[in-house]
Structure 1
Amino acid sequence: MAATQVIRSEWTKIRSVASTVWTLSLAVVVTLALSMLISALSANEFDKLNAQDRSDFDPTFISFAGMTLGQLAMIVFGVLVVSNEYSSGMIRTSLAAVPQRGTFLFSKVAVATGLALVVGMATSFAAFFLGQAMLGEHRAQLGDTGVLRAVVGGGLYMTLIAMFSMGVAAMLRSPMLGLGILMPFFFLISNILGNVDATRKVGRFLPDQAGSRIMQVVTPVGDDTPYGPWGGLGIMALWVIAALGGGYALLKRRDA
């Protein structure tokens, strides 16, 4: 089967599965709602901040506060896109129709990534504009230094989260196992390693810790992170490549 036919087939699969559509919709709604709430609260508390906190105040990054929960939906989307066929048993039929496993995985990831990119970019720009509206006089402008980079970076970050989840799902094949590992990793282990003094230098090289750097415009005083915004996104991209590479290697070696 030609690659274009496989891509068309994968698009049909994703579009026809209600859970993936609802998951992406949830990513948008949750991200925007939480971003607006946190931005409004930050504007209300600004006058109570001390001089140090005011100098570190990053209105752009605050408007992305909802990304924390939005990435949860992206993780679920990435896992379900790949592992749904394993849990339903359809993977045997799919691999029989597309015996070239590299083409099969590439097409699935390419279609899902394109969809995640569109949703991620739309969500990032919407979160920025709505968040800045809530911040009022403390808001940033899209033309300010570093702001457009941060907003575009927010969309790329969401996309890379989905891609990383696809790679992990391809290795594990089980939606429950994939979610059971990724959820604690991003929402517990990464936060602990990134905030405890003994492990902070290791934690900041984890995919979410490094990737989220792209959404920051103001660098806090005393921040000694050894990479910049694009460097952090590059580190996250390396994690994604490793996860997808692992998924492809195991897909080639294992039976369906």
Structure 2
Amino acid sequence: MTVSPTAVLHAEWIKLRSLRAALVSLAAVFAVGVTITALVQASIEDPAGAIGEEFGGDRLFAAFYGVNFAHVAAIAFGTTAMSCEYVNHALRVSLTAVPDRTLFYAAKTAVIGAAALAVGLVTGFGMFLTGQAALGDDGLGLGAPGALRACFGTGLGLALTALLAAGLTAVLRSGVAALSILIPFFLIVSFVIGDTTGGAAEYLPDRAGAQVLFADPVGDLGAWSGLAVAALWSLAALLAGWWTVRRRDA
């Protein structure tokens, strides 16, 4: 039986829309990122002084204060969207409908990535515009050096994080297991490693992807090369997940 890629994509889109937990996580990417950024920016009484002290003087990076929290929500979305296949043997049903495991996996990850990218782009622009509006006359505009790049880069980075989470979930066949690894990694481990290993930490996915948020990236990686390193991490997870789906029993 031959199933068209368009039909599989449509089926995966319907499946994603039916997952309430995934939709809540996806909405949280925007809500958490924008809300935290706006609240923090609104609480700054002396933008120049506070930003100089806490963010090394990079006002563009400071404009995306809530991005780490948005990445946590993106992890939750990626794991939830993929882990539904491992509940009550749902994967068997999916593979019965789509025997081509590569097509099934490609369609599923494509839908996850597209949804995360769409919301990520809205989140990136939302964080920047809302946060800078809260600063009034002290805020930056989209015409500021690197602002558009950072907004688009935020969307790409969030999509890559969701795909990293989806790939790892496919490998572990458990959303809980993937969450227990990725959330501490993004919130804690990366900073601990950064304090002990110096430059090597720049190549971790969260730190590499964050380079696109700086007006003047520091370290060995530039804005887009840092995002490329993050993309390699996601690609490795997706390939490992693809291998797992192809080789293991449903």
Query: TM-score under structure 2 normalisation?
Result: 0.94
Structure 1 segment 95-174 matched on structure 2, within 5 A: 95-174=95-174
Is the 1:59–1:138 Cα contact (8 Å) retained in structure 2? no
Partner of 1:34: 36
Partner of 1:85: 85
Partner of 1:246: 240
Is the 2:63–2:128 Cα contact (8 Å) retained in structure 1? yes
Is the 1:82–1:166 Cα contact (8 Å) retained in structure 2? yes
Is the 2:171–2:244 Cα contact (8 Å) retained in structure 1? yes
* C-alpha spacing 1:139/1:9, structure 2 compared with 1 (3 Å): same
Q: Does 1:46 align with 2:47?
A: yes
How far apart, CA to CA, are the structure 2 residues paired with 1:54 and 1:156?
A: 25
Query: TM-score under structure 1 normalisation?
Result: 0.92
Is the 2:33–2:123 Cα contact (8 Å) retained in structure 1? yes
Q: Which moved more, 1:114-123 or 1:53-62?
A: 53-62
* Matched residue SS, 1:120: helix
Partner of 1:214: 212
| Aligned-CA RMSD value | 1.8
Percent identical across equivalent pairs?
36
Q: Shift in Å at residue 47 of structure 1? A: 5.8
Partner of 2:198: 200
* C-alpha spacing 1:29/1:55, structure 2 compared with 1 (3 Å): closer
* Matched residue SS, 1:199: helix
* Partner amino acid, structure 1, of 2:47: F
How far apart, CA to CA, are the structure 2 residues paired with 1:147 and 1:11?
A: 32
How far apart, CA to CA, are the structure 2 residues paired with 1:240 and 1:7?
A: 21
Q: Shift in Å at residue 49 of structure 1? A: 5.2
* Matched residue SS, 2:46: helix
Q: Shift in Å at residue 251 of structure 1? A: 1.2
Is the 2:202–2:221 Cα contact (8 Å) retained in structure 1? no
* C-alpha spacing 1:228/1:118, structure 2 compared with 1 (3 Å): same
Structure 2 gap segments, 5+ residues each: none
How far apart, CA to CA, are the structure 1 residues paired with 2:172 and 2:54?
A: 45
How far apart, CA to CA, are the structure 2 residues paired with 1:217 and 1:138?
A: 17
How far apart, CA to CA, are the structure 2 residues paired with 1:19 and 1:101?
A: 25
Partner of 1:22: 24
